[in-house]
Amino acid sequence: MSPDTAVSIRDLLRIRDFRWLWLGQIVSNFGDALTHLTLVLYINRVTDGSTTAIATLLIALALPQATLGLVAGVFVDRWDRKRTMIISDLVRGVLVLAFIYSSTHAADQLWLLYLVAFAHACAGAFFLPARSALVPNVVPAAGLLAANSLGQMSVVFFRVLGTAAAGLLVGLLDVFWPAFVVDAATFFLSALFIARVALATPARARVKTAVSTTARALFAELQNGLGILLRSRVLVGTLVAIGVTMFGLGAVNVLLAPLLVNDMQVPETWFGVLEFVQSGAMILGSTFVAVLAARFRPTSLISGSLLILGIDVALFALVGNVWHFFPILFVAGLVSAPLNAAVATIVQTAVADEVRGRISSALGATIQTTSLLSMFLTGAVAAAVGVRSVFIISGAVILLASVAAAWIFRGYAAPRPALQPAE
């Protein structure tokens, strides 16, 4: 098909290599969601709802991306991206099995679970930038928005299945280990699917595997990638918008489970229902991404989506019963779909393939670093002003991200040619 021809989702799934990448993604998304909620519910149970313990788990999962993310991007741009993804999947599959052992210990041995979670996230720090950088190599430029939309739709659909499975397993069977067994299997299956990708490694990647791996050489490549990012107004605006937004959402990720289970006495089985509401809205929103893209620039989708999301998050402070969560989570899901698709498309099209891994990693590192800062502050702020007040603060921070993005993007009309790495 021509690179300039509009590509539908059906067309995308006819592309063999993309189809295998997509299959690897969906089984991994299912397992990730299943394990993530299982870990949160386990920590919540054995610590009697300690927000500090939950925050520590989330920090252990976020810290590797914040600390290793930028360096991982340098290696992703050097290595065979397909092989990088396979090794990452296999390592994470083995580490997930270690959760079975670590979760059998008492609450005073939680450090072991945190350690395994940290190692698991370290392996994952190489997977996401490799996948993001590989997609434009298997999908024509005209199909990237559709590919990102399908990816977003698949993420939310299979994450809701994984979350529902975790809620049912923990709520009905009162056990944790089956979730970890299933998740390990999904990582091994994902590695098998990705191994079927027949895409040849670009010549520049094979050449770069032979270059120096000294600290000075790594720093030079990292500096080059960051220089490209900082010279692009659209990339800077995207980075600022998402970074500030995640600073606000980090607190929501920590406090939502305690608000539901402890403050409102909602049974754990409700997590699956609420996740279904938000995920269903995200899937619905994904179906309208192409329509929105025909009317709005990606930059406008980012600032507009954040405006709505900021107001929506602040409304968590007003919930009186579990039913109030339904419209709030529905709106959050609806606006998240175009937001995520717009961000991914900008990152994939604003730079050349040679530095795409570094730019993707920079975005991931920004997201995790700001989330990490938010998690560190959440416990103290919640203790000082109350859990519900934190949601108002979070909403205000996201509104600030919307304003900042609109200001940086002002006057932006069309994508500039992809920026090339310095010689």
> Which CATH number covers residue 48?
1.20.1250.20
Q: Exposure of 216 by Cβ count < 10 A (0-12 exposed, 13-18 middle, 19+ buried)?
A: exposed
Question: Per-block average pLDDT, block size 10, for the chain (423 residues)?
Answer: 57 85 87 83 80 82 75 77 89 88 69 88 84 81 76 78 80 78 89 84 47 62 70 81 84 78 74 77 78 77 91 88 87 86 79 71 76 78 82 91 88 49 41
3-state secondary structure of 419: strand
pLDDT value of position 7: 62
pLDDT value of position 137: 82
Whether residue 172 lies inside any domain: the answer is: yes
Whether residue 383 lies inside any domain: the answer is: yes
CA angle 90, 94, 96 (to 5 degrees): 115
The tokens of 390 are what?
A: 């934190």
Whether residue 256 lies inside any domain: the answer is: yes
The tokens of 350 are what?
A: 């604003």
pLDDT value of position 420: 41
- What is the distance between the alpha carbons of residues 245 and 250, in angstroms, rounded to a whole number? 9
pLDDT value of position 205: 46
On whether the CB atoms of residues 312 and 327 are closer than 8 A, the answer is no
Whether residue 221 lies inside any domain: the answer is: yes
- What is the distance between the alpha carbons of residues 230 and 368, in angstroms, rounded to a whole number? 19
Q: Tens digit of pLDDT for each residue in 96-114?
A: 888 887 777 655 678 888 9
**In this structure, what are the phi and psi dihedrals at residue 419, rounded to the nearest 5 degrees?**
-75, 140
pLDDT value of position 275: 74
Whether residue 205 lies inside any domain: the answer is: no
Amino acid identity of 386? Answer: G
36 half-sphere exposure, CB direction, 13 A CA radius: 25
On whether the CB atoms of residues 63 and 114 are closer than 8 A, the answer is no
- Which DSSP state fits 344? H
The tokens of 16 are what?
A: 């063999």
**In this structure, what are the phi and psi dihedrals at residue 351, rounded to the nearest 5 degrees?**
-135, 165
On whether the CB atoms of residues 301 and 405 are closer than 8 A, the answer is no
- What is the distance between the alpha carbons of residues 242 and 265, in angstroms, rounded to a whole number? 32
156-179 burial, b at 16+ Cβ within 10 Å, e below that, comes to bbbbbbbbbbbbebbeeeeebbbb
Give CA separation, 325 vs 210, 274, 277, 278, 337, in Å.
53, 7, 9, 10, 19
Whether residue 414 lies inside any domain: the answer is: no
pLDDT value of position 416: 43
Amino acid identity of 327? Answer: P
CA angle 24, 30, 31 (to 5 degrees): 90
pLDDT value of position 346: 82
Whether residue 416 lies inside any domain: the answer is: no
Domain count, the chain: 1
Q: Tens digit of pLDDT for each residue in 221-264?
A: 666 667 767 777 778 888 888 888 888 887 787 788 777 777 77
The tokens of 119 are what?
A: 């190692």
25-54 burial, b at 16+ Cβ within 10 Å, e below that, comes to bbbbbbbbbbbbbbbbbbbbebbeebbebb
* Structural domain range at position 266: 9-198+212-409
107 half-sphere exposure, CB direction, 13 A CA radius: 12
